Chains A and B, each alone.
Chain A
Amino acid sequence: METLSRPFHWLVVSGIAVGLGWSAALSADTPDTLTLGYLGMERPDDREPLSVLDPVLDDEGLQGARLAIDDNNATAQFLDQEFVLHEEEIAVDGEVGEALERLIDQGADWIVSDLPAEALLELMAHPALGDRAVFNARAPDDVLRGESCHPNLYHTTPSRRMLADALAQFLGYKQWQRWTLVYGNTDEDRLLAEALRAAAERYGHRIVGEKMWPHDPMSRRAEGGFHAIQREIPVFVQDFPEYDVLVIADETDYFGEYFPYQTWAPRPVVGTQGLIATAWHRAHESWGGVQLQRRFEDLADRWMTPRDFGAWLAVRSLGEAAARTGAVDRETVLDYMLGEEFELAGYLGLPVSYRTWNHQLRQPILITGPRMVASVSPQEGYLHPRTPLDSLGADEGESSCRF
């Protein structure tokens, strides 16, 4: 079609329309377009996973958004709708506002954010944003769902508290109720340690000892590094009282991977390494998950990560709401998305939907080892008057979010 000159193109279209009547004329209409802007931030140079088995990724999040655009358009083609994605990536500590303005210039009416909390707050405060809705597909900070919540901000990635609650429920099911807690020296780890303490209290666990791992990140490839680690860790943890599990809070992945098999007492390691709570994992294939994993790998040539999944959920939420309402305007789409009818299939066994009081997507959380899924929370028996999914994360009554 590109080779046809424009007037000739129009002749062809109108000829078909006249020849085949109404249905052909309908399909020649321009589709309703929903335009999204994806806003990410470069990976800091010093952020690499500790294990050399984990690839260093520079397109995390973005590939999830791209896949969801494809998924949306596969349905949209039958409904005279169309989804378009524009992409921007800023440097570490780069200008959020400029990137936002570039996206808006290209027509972006909806923003998917793969920004850390601080940059996301900057985005929310930027005057150019207007009434556009922003999907937080990356930042787990509870404060974004609490006192810093925003009526135009939606969270598809689980909060730290949701992850901590999911893990605490599984440990409750196992009756592993005496924890020791080792957390890193970053701000993220201190926040996660807080969430873990709250989860332990909510689900009747006892933290019998806790310590901060005081060291700076070690070199990823130091030869024979484990010789030092093998001696260091048992000494570091040997004065803990008797416990069932050692819980690690190391979000930036700089030391936790060293802990399994190196503890003084023969106890499992859980938390951010060892047995982890996560929104998505390659080992997960139930409930059609294998289909999503394969589609993603065909597109991105790598495994899908939780950040990819968060972005995928954001774009798919819009796809689902637009398909159901037959509309692409902001008000109709958001009304449906927050309503009782909205149910998105997230390949996690239960439909996912948005909490009206803080716009967090309620979702099941995987409990998984490095190579095999162990369970999915919420665990059986943890009840909630609305839905068992609301047993994960801050509940309506305790949320400090007021829109």
Chain B
Amino acid sequence: MSLLSSRARRPAIPPVALGLALGGLLALPLAAQAERIFVSNEKDNTLSVIDGESLEVVETIQVGRRPRSMAFSHDGSELFVAVGDDEAIDMIDLETLEVVRSQSSGEDPEVIRVDPNRPYLYVSNEDDNIVTVLDYEARTRVTEIPVGVEPEGLGISPDGRWLVSTTETSNMAHIVDAERMEAVYHRLVGARPRHAEFTHDGREAWVSAEIAGTVSILDMEETFDVEHTIRFEVPGVPRETVQAVGVELTADGRYAFVALGPSNRVAVVDQQSYEVLDYILVGQRVWHLALNGDESRLYTTNGVSGDVTVIEVDGLEAVKSIPVGRFPWGVVVEP
């Protein structure tokens, strides 16, 4: 209903533009369905579903207790969400938007990642100092990989060969050989590392550190060492509140976006030179980030203000905030 009324209020579309748009639609019939953005509300036990065109919450999904990290299954038919207080991964059918099954995950699952080659789900279990590997098709537990104290961030290389697990109290990035299912290198990074993200070419892993307020760049080709550390200084904001959490990297290798927590800013970084280009003001305690399909937009979850900020990548400008549930944590865009 709101969709119809908002369309009705729009100015008339010039015929030429309309023709172009229709042509585009015919060439790419899938684009007719607007993107859906899923946001996990940690305190409400729900996911908010945002329509990528109207930028409004169109659905709220009831899930288990304390939903945080999310990931899509291989075939794109299901969305997985770690529900920490239920010690499980809820699996949501993307057609009905209902939880259709739940798989036990070990204690306090926080971050999850899907293997690009196998039906495996990697789960960091903060309390047990392990990364649990689940098979979401066979619904079994494959193995457990011991790492340092309080595993949190997980990143997986595009070819599925390497997994990076960050441990918050050990302050390390543990580099796991995904074939042997074993941590083979251990590298110190900034204090309380939170998130690991591979560049799309798989050459680097970017590891953010919340307390240090830094991003460490790990070389994933030869040395597996930290080859650069990015620091952030937001003018007029106390240093302690500049805490690096979520990281998103554009596929073209141009930009990196880093969520800076209670400083309420997203940093824009040149992916090649590591230079910080800009800070974009968003909602309060910005936590995680997601780019949409064509990377024209970046969505941020803002925990304290309970909303999502929409940033236009072209122009690097925050254009809208969308109220969601209490303490939004993670955000993913349906592929």
Interface residues of A (CB under 8 A from B): 71, 74-75, 78-79, 288, 291, 294-295, 320, 323-324, 343-345, 349-351, 387-389
Contact = CB atoms under 8 A, between A and B. Distances in A.
Contacts of B241: 350
B191 A387 contact: no
Contact of A74 (B127, B170, B211): B170
A74 B148 contact: yes
Interface string B134-149: 0000000000000011
Nearest to B188: A323
A387 B240 contact: yes
Contacts, number: 61
B68 interface: no
Q: Which 4 A-B pairs have the closest CB atoms?
A: A78-B186, A75-B170, A350-B240, A345-B192
Of B168, B191, B210, B262, the most chain A CB neighbours within 10 A belong to B191
Nearest to A364: B240
Contacts of A389: 240
B172 A78 contact: yes
B240 A78 contact: no
Interface residues of B, number: 23
Contacts of A78: 148, 170, 172, 186
B148 A75 contact: yes
Interface in B165-209: 168-172, 186, 188, 191-192
Nearest to B150: A291
Contacts of B169: 71, 74-75, 291, 345
Contacts of A349: 262
B168 A74 contact: no
B63 interface: no
Contacts of B170: 74-75, 78
Interface of B: 126-127, 129, 148-150, 168-172, 186, 188, 191-192, 210-212, 238-241, 262
A344 B191 CA distance: 7
A294 B188 contact: no
B191 A291 contact: no
Contacts of B168: 288, 291, 345
A351 B172 contact: no
Among A74, A79, A324: residue with most chain B CB under 10 A: A74
Given A294-B127, A344-B191, A345-B169, A388 B211 contact: no
A288 B150 contact: yes
B283 to A, nearest CB: 16
Contacts of A74: 129, 148-149, 169-170
A345 B129 CA distance: 17
A320 B126 CA distance: 20
Contacts of B192: 288, 345
A387 B126 contact: no
Contacts of A343: 191, 211-212
A351 B241 CA distance: 9
A387 B149 contact: no
Given A74-B149, A345-B168, A351-B191, A388 B238 contact: yes
Contacts of B129: 74
Nearest to A75: B170
Contacts of A388: 238, 240
A48 B191 CA distance: 38
Given A74-B148, A75-B169, A344-B211, 4 more contacts: A74-B149, A75-B172, A349-B262, A351-B212
Contacts of A351: 191, 211-212, 240
A323 B167 CA distance: 14
Contact of A323 (B126, B171, B211, B239): B171
A345 B211 CA distance: 6
Nearest to A352: B211
A114 to B, nearest CB: 22
Contacts of A324: 188
A183 to B, nearest CB: 33
B191 A75 contact: no
Contacts of A350: 211, 240-241
A288 B168 CA distance: 9
A79 B241 CA distance: 30
A328 to B, nearest CB: 15
